[in-house]
Amino acid sequence: MPRVLFNTNKKTFAEMTFKLLYLILFLPVLFVFSACDDTVEPGPEPAPRRPQNLAEYRLTTDGLKNYFTDAGYFDVGVAIEPRDLDNPTSVALIRRHFNSITAENAMKWDALQPTEGNFRWTNADRIVNFAVANGMRVRGHTLIWHNQTPAWVFQHNGQTASREVLLQRLRNHVTAVVSRYRGQVYAWDVVNEVIDNGSGFYRGSPWFNILGEDFIFEAFRAARLADPNAKLFYNDYRETDPVKREKIFQLISRLRAEGLIDGMGMQGHWNVDWPSSTHLIDAINRYSSLGLEIHITELDVSIYTSSSAPAQAFTQEVALRQRAAYSRFFGVFRRHRDQITNVTFWGVHDGVSWLNNWPVTGRADHPLLFDRNHNPKEAYFGIINF
């Protein structure tokens, strides 16, 4: 029989025609309703654009603490002086950008106890009270240091103080200071800069000359007793140098073994060329291998790569070079967010930096994120745009 190519049954043909028209007319409608179904998960909203320049910066109130702490990285701090609290523009900048405060000088021995037993708390109290009133954490700096310690500390009855006298003075001072701010200062730089930069192990300071290394351990013990909940740090510079790093590591390993230390303070007094990312990463990993928190405690990035370099203008070329350095350092910090819990800048703006006139008299530096007019520099925009 010949094949039947078409079914000539009228009822079957009509049914097929109806179904075809149904599909043509109603499938697009079904597709639209399906696309509008509220059970479909929306895609992620794009991250808000961060300021790229001064004009855009002035259109937002966000600051460093929003870009880093709120985003799950680390606290962002600043070292201040009482004079900064007298300047409304500085106060506004501090409130906008920082959630951690360090007293740059007001908690050092010569500021707190210039003569034996006579404590002057006014400036330190003012800084702590400002921080507390503004919901900021406080890092205490510093209890024991070879600088800014009055001469009387090391003398007694016209002679060099005995071991016993100096140890008691150390304990009295540490106990008095830490106890006063117990519950308000969450972290202390207990001992500062005791490792030698040269071939020796310890710096030859009056502390070491009279007490040997015992002053280091006794300071930490006194601080721990005065506030068991405070985090205790050893703090030093040139901390990324491989040779000095290993000496620091030996010291903090012993402190850690006695349960006397909680963190390593890497000062971060760097410049636009130094340190290398490799040395920085190696230092972070080495110190944190002991289970210690890492704080970058005194960050600034000098435009000078030599301590004797002559003064130079802060040109756009220099600004971009500094931006690249800051961006590189902060790239490392972000990648090590599980180890680094605080990054503190050593000064509010360039005009108050300790690097002005030091180490070269008359030489201005520009090492911070904000210029002398409190405006953000290229380096600021470099570190927030990631």
Compute the distance between CA of residue 250 and CA of residue 248 in angstroms, rounded to an integer. 5
Active-site positions read 193, 298
Compute the distance between CA of residue 294 and CA of residue 73 in angstroms, rounded to an integer. 13
Compute the distance between CA of residue 105 and CA of residue 127 in angstroms, rounded to an integer. 11
DSSP characters for 115-160? BTTB---HHHHHHHHHHHHTT-EEEEEEEE-SSS--GGGGEETTEE
Compute the distance between CA of residue 267 and CA of residue 315 in angstroms, rounded to an integer. 27
CA distances from 245 to 214, 240, 295, 336 (A): 21, 6, 15, 18
194 exposed, middle or buried (CB, 10 Å; 0-12, 13-18, 19+)? buried
Strand residues in 132-282 grouped as ranges (E): 137-144, 155-156, 159-160, 185-192, 231-236, 263-266, 269-271
**Contact indicator for 112, 172 with CB cutoff of 8 Å:** no
Q: Which structure tokens are listed for 133?
A: 């009133």
